[in-house]
Amino acid sequence: MFIVCLLSFLLLPSIVHAWGPLTHVYLGNQIIDFGAAALPPAIYGVIKKFKNDFLYGNLSADIILGRKFQGFEKNSHSWDIAWKLLEFSKTDRQKAFAYGYLTHLCADSVVHNLKGGAMPFKHSIMEVKSDSMVNRKYRKMLKDLDAFMQKKNDVVLEDHLESLIFSFKTNKKIFKGFLLLSRLPNYRPVSGFIKKRFPYGIPVVDIYDFQQESLRRMFELLKNGRDSDVLKEHPLGSISKRFS
């Protein structure tokens, strides 16, 4: 099981190239816990009431694998796609999900625009370390995201997203497996192994700073909408240059 977890956390994040699911759940909860005084009341009221939809939106932008092979316009990490999800939202529940999707892209715009450097698996190692810093209560929150709520939002996602490698249903199955691995207690030996092998690679204080910058961008977008500076950063980072 240890080997399976290690390979999954190193290889799959290197494909999706993003914050890990526990970090996304943590960041989403920070918005809910501290957003009352910082966000427009109408927006905060929606994400507070439909918390699970908002958190699932913070996760599900990673549901499509192989985004680096997608075109620019229909890429699941495109601002245009995220805004369309919000524009086509007919209910507050769907709006909460779309806001979560948008804030996911805000968070990813931080980690995706970091330079990889010479260290192998740098992004993956940082993501595993970041998830290991997250309190275990967020692992339970990840587990408590009910299947019925996910299915309702998946219907909307399937209408807007395009995948070149797998069908949406296959992507969803792989994604569910990755979320399941994220909840396993076997994760700690994996983070311990990485700490021993790459002890000086990424200081914890740097990861904390990246998390805080992610939160700053998430709050900014929910507050300022399309006038946000974060929209100048592409969520795909350097990968987006291939399509420009």
pLDDT at residue number 201: 60
3-state SS track over 48-100 = HHCHHHHHHHHHHCCCCCCHHHCCCCCCCCCHHHHHHHHHCCCCHHHHHHHHH
Predicted pLDDT of residue 184 = 64
pLDDT at 82 over 90: yes
pTM of the model: 0.84
The torsion angles phi and psi of 232, rounded to 5 degrees, stand at: -80, -15
Q: What angle in degrees, to the nearest 10, is found between the helix axes of 21-34 and 168-183?
A: 80
Alpha carbon distance 37, 123 (integer Å): 33
Cα dihedral 107, 108, 110, 111 in deg (nearest 10)? 130
Structural domain of 165? 2-243
Amino acid at 186: N
- Of residues 138 and 123, the one with the higher pLDDT is 138
Cα distance between the two ends of the chain: 42
Per residue in 44-78, pLDDT (tens digit) is 999 999 999 999 999 999 888 876 666 666 678 89
**So what's the pLDDT on residue 205?**
82
* Domains contained in the chain, number: 1
Q: Give the amino acid at 48.
A: K
Q: What is the mean pLDDT of the chain?
A: 81
Cα–Cα–Cα angle for 155, 161, 162, rounded to 5 degrees: 125
What's the pLDDT at 115? 56
Token match 């370390």: residue?
Answer: 129
pLDDT at 242: 44
